[in-house]
Structure formats: structure tokens, C-alpha cells
Amino acid sequence: MGWADVIASAHPDIEVGERVWGFFPYTNYHRIEAGQVTSSSFKDIGLHRAKHAPVYCQFDKASANPLYDNAREGQDSLLRGLFMTSWLVEDFLNENSAFGAELCLITSASSKTSIALAFAVKQRGQMKSIAITSEKNRAFCESLECYDEVHSYQQIEQLDASAPAVIVDMAGSAATLAQCHQHFGDNIKYSCLIGATHYQEAGATDNLPGAKPEFFFAPAHVQERSKTLGAAVLMTLLGGSYAQFREFCDGWMTVKCAEGSEAVSEAYRSILAGGAEPQVGQLVKI
């Protein structure tokens, strides 16, 4: 996810110098087969993208984006895609009346996708957001003030299991998910699998009490809500909420950029080793 410049164009409606947002391979240059060109976007209709959801094939023109701010490009590269996922999860829950839940349990609560979800839940105000995080990140999560409660993984069994809950699992830890299901039992009304920050703890999630865990595929919900609301209305709602989230992040997130192969490798190894600080947004540039 990120920004790029059009440096050559054979299409009359795509100008050289146009700044665009989209999904790119990890390289300096990328050639696309442009199609479905409008005043605000175009798609890569090449065969290599045919298997992907439409949202992964689209490039948005900065010149048509009312939220575009050159000074926020780094922030957008970090937050825009993940916020869309989190906003869509919350919208999906709302469309289903939160499955009757009063609590939204969010694992890996210090991750930026989880923070975005808590922000969206707080905006709606229909459920309490419950952060589940590591002990070392408890204070950070509390300082954000977007979670109603913050608990460590060791405190899951101290949660009030009498209230109906949904769980949005960003951690991907089979043991943590199982513990939540076993503690809340049939009060887990919906169990949503999204992230894998604890990828090394992945495992089977079968035969758990409560709702069966299922993966949430954001592009599918985009398509569904675009049909019911209209794509323009959906993007207006999402964009307005995202603008507020960016301002919220101004108060706690610092953007850092690793540039060059050695710096990128070092940043990557640090993240894999668990050395990432939750208040830092890491960019890489080659």
C-alpha cells in the first residue's frame, strides 16, 4: 500500500506526473494495463491481477481525493488500508446488530488495526471495546483512551463473561482465541478472524464453545455495501471517519522510515523479533 507517480502513460486520461494510491509490488517501477479509467481512479486490468478482489486492482488519483495531504502521505501509507479493514469490520457488526453483543473483545490491542477498530467502535457507541494485549503494552493502550477496558492476556479469565460478546482476533494465537471462547462460552456471539501478529502461535480453532470462528474478508464487504449504499456514499462515510482517525493518530503515532536494503532488513528483523514499538509507524523505502 502506498503512493506512486505516473512516469509514463499511453492513456489519454492518465497524466504523467499524476500521484496515485494503490497496491504495488515491492519495486521501484511497476507497469500496469490501465482500464476502467474515471476522473478519480483507474484499474490494473492485467491478467496478473485478475484473481484479486477489485479493491486490490484500483489506483486512486490524489488530485480527486479531498483528503489528500502531501504531508500525510507516510501516515496514509501506514493507516489507510488497515483503517478500511477495521471500519468495515465495525460496519459489518453494526449491520448485524452486533449479533446481540455488548462487548467487543479485541486481541493484539496495541496493533494499529486494532486501535482503528476500537476507534470505530467508540464512534458508534453501541458496544464497549475491551483491549486484550501484552502486559508491556497495557499502559500504552490505556493512554489512547479509545478502549473502555484494557486487560493483559494473563487476565482473560478475569473478564466479565456474563455479558454477550463478539471477538475480533487480530493476534492469530490459537491458545488466546480458545481461552476467550472457553471463558465466555455461548456468550461469544460472533468470532472474527483477521490478523496474525502472533503468527507463531497459529493452530486449529475447531470445536470451541460459542460462535464458530470465521475469517472476515474486507473486499467482499466493500462490494456488498457498495451495492446497498452506493459506492460514493460508502466512500464518503469511510473517508469522513478516516479523516478523524488520522487526527486522532497525530496525538500518539510517530512515523519512521527505513531507507536502503540494510535499513529495511534491520527493520523487518526487528518487527519479526517483537521489537516494534506500538507508538511508531514503520515505513520502508528502497
pLDDT tens-digit readout, 119-155: 999 999 999 999 999 999 999 999 999 999 999 999 9
Whether residues 138 and 185 share a domain: the answer is yes
Please provide the average confidence, as pLDDT, over all residues in the chain.
92
Does 126 reside within a domain? yes
Q: Dihedrals φ, ψ of 89, to 5°?
A: -60, -50
DSSP E strands: which ranges in the chain?
Answer: 2-5, 19-22, 34-35, 41-44, 58-61, 103-107, 128-133, 149-152, 165-169, 188-193, 214-215, 254-259, 280-285
Q: Are residues 51 and 110 in the same domain?
A: no
Q: What is the pTM of this model?
A: 0.90
60 plus 98 within the same structural domain:
no
For the four alpha carbons of 95, 22, 244 and 39, in that order, the dihedral sign comes to negative
Q: In which domain, by residue range, is 26 found?
A: 1-65
146 lies in the same domain as 108: yes
Decide if 248 is inside a domain.
Answer: no
Residue-wise pLDDT tens digits, 25-77: 888 899 999 999 999 999 999 998 988 888 889 999 999 999 999 999 999 99
Percent of the chain with pLDDT over 90: 76
| Structural domain contains residue 222 | no
Answer yes or no: is 99 within a domain: yes
- In this structure, are 6 and 45 located in the same domain? yes
For residue 206, the model assigns a pLDDT of 81
Give the C-alpha separation, 109 to 169, whole Å. 9
Cβ burial of 128 (10 Å; 0-12, 13-18, 19+) is middle
Please indicate, yes or no, if residue 128 is contained in any of the structural domains: yes
CB 168 within 8 A of CB 106: yes
Distance CA 232, CA 114 (A): 26
In CATH, what number is assigned to the domain containing residue 148?
Answer: 3.40.50.720
Residue finishing a domain among 165, 195, 214:
214
* Chain Cα centroid distance, residue 133: 17
What total number of domains does the chain contain?
Answer: 3
Is 279 within the bounds of a domain? yes
**Cβ pair 112, 174 in contact under 8 A:** no
Residues with Cβ within 8 Å of residue 200, at least 6 apart in sequence: none
Query: 109 lies in a domain?
Result: yes
Residues 187 and 270 in one domain: no
pLDDT at 203 over 90: no
